Amino acid sequence: MNEVEYEKLAQSLERLREQYEFFKENEEDLSGNLKEAVQESVIQRFETCFDTLYKHLKRYFEDQGLTNVPGSPKPIFRMAYKNNLIENLEDWIDGDDSYVQARIDTTHDYSLEKAQRALGKIGDFIQDTTDICQAIVDQK
C-alpha cells in the first residue's frame, strides 16, 4: 500500500475529528452565522474524508491484486465488508441513515434537516473509519 495515500486518509480523518470535536465542545456557545459556518466546515470535512476513504479503499484492493475494482462508494464498501474491513454494511450503504446517504444529501444541499442528519452520523463515521484504517494496517 502506498504510504502517501494512507497519510492523506489519516490527515483527512484527523482534520474531521478535530473540527467535529471543536463543534461538539462549543455547540452551546456558538450561534447564528458562526454556528452555521462551523457546521458547514464539519460537513465539508466529512465529505472530504468520505471521498478520500473510498478512493483509498479502491487503491487498497487494487494493491491487493484484485481486478475490476469498482470506482464508486457503494460497491467499494461492499468489498470492504466482504474483506472484513467493516463490520456493519448497513451503516455504510443502506437506507436514509447511512454514511453514503449522508454524503449524497450534503453534496449540494445544506438544508438544516440534512445538515443535522449528517452531523448526527459523523461521530460514528469517525470511529468506523478509524476502525477501517486499523484493519488495513493489521492486514499489511
pLDDT in tens, 40-92: 999 999 999 999 999 999 999 999 898 899 999 999 999 999 999 999 999 99
Q: What pTM value is reported for the model?
A: 0.91
Q: Contact 96/88 with Cβ under 8 angstroms?
A: no
Q: Kindly list the distances between the CA atom of residue 99 and the CA atoms of 1, 16, 46, 48, 68, in Å, as whole numbers in the listed order.
A: 25, 14, 10, 13, 24
Q: Which domains does the chain have, with CATH numbers?
A: 3-139 (1.20.120.330)
